[in-house]
Amino acid sequence: MPGRGPIILGVTASDAHSVANQLIAHRLRAEGYTVVNLGACTPVEEFAQAVREHPDTLAVVVGSLNGHACDDLRPLPAARAAGDLPCPIVLGGNLSVGSHKDGSAEDRLRALGVDHVLAGLGELVPLLRELERRAASARAPRAG
């Protein structure tokens, strides 16, 4: 289990909520992942810079509690197109503002380039394990 990851972790650019971010970092480290925690108020470019510094990144995990993820991630398509964020992007938290939830938020996030939108924190570690399995399978030599 030691040496898993690295996982780039952060909270969207306009979101200063940091408690959940710290708890997630702690949980991922307990699971054996190397966590590069960028903390709160992280713009897309900082995620991209962290991935450039850690080219073996398994995933970028982004939290949003204030509900402004769609706005904060507007630069994501350009970063993905430039090859700056080639790994899976995972987002969890509150996807829209207000008590009435916008059902189109997940579709808009996927259109921006988010690969996985989590309904709850309990989905994160199983997803990361699946991403590890896929990465290992992609690296394995093909018989033929």
- Cβ proximity of 10 and 47 under 8 Å: yes
Averaged pLDDT, 30-38: 96
At 58-83, the pLDDT tens digits run 999 999 999 899 999 999 999 999 99
Q: What's the pTM value of the predicted model, to 2 decimals? A: 0.92
- Please tell me the least confidently modeled range out of 37-41, 120-124, 140-144: 140-144
| pLDDT value for 133 | 94
Q: What does each C-alpha distance from 20 to 1, 59, 79, 108 come to in angstroms?
A: 24, 18, 26, 24
- Cβ proximity of 32 and 4 under 8 Å: yes
Q: Does position 40 have pLDDT exceeding 60, yes or no?
A: yes
| pLDDT value for 143 | 62
Q: Which helix (H) or strand (E) holds 111?
A: helix 105-112
Q: Indicate the DSSP class of residue 135.
A: H
* Residue 15, both tokens: 């979101």
At 84-126, the pLDDT tens digits run 999 999 999 988 776 666 678 899 999 999 999 998 999 999 9
Averaged pLDDT, 23-46: 97
Q: Which CATH code is given to the segment(s) 1-14+40-75+87-98+111-118?
A: 3.40.50.280
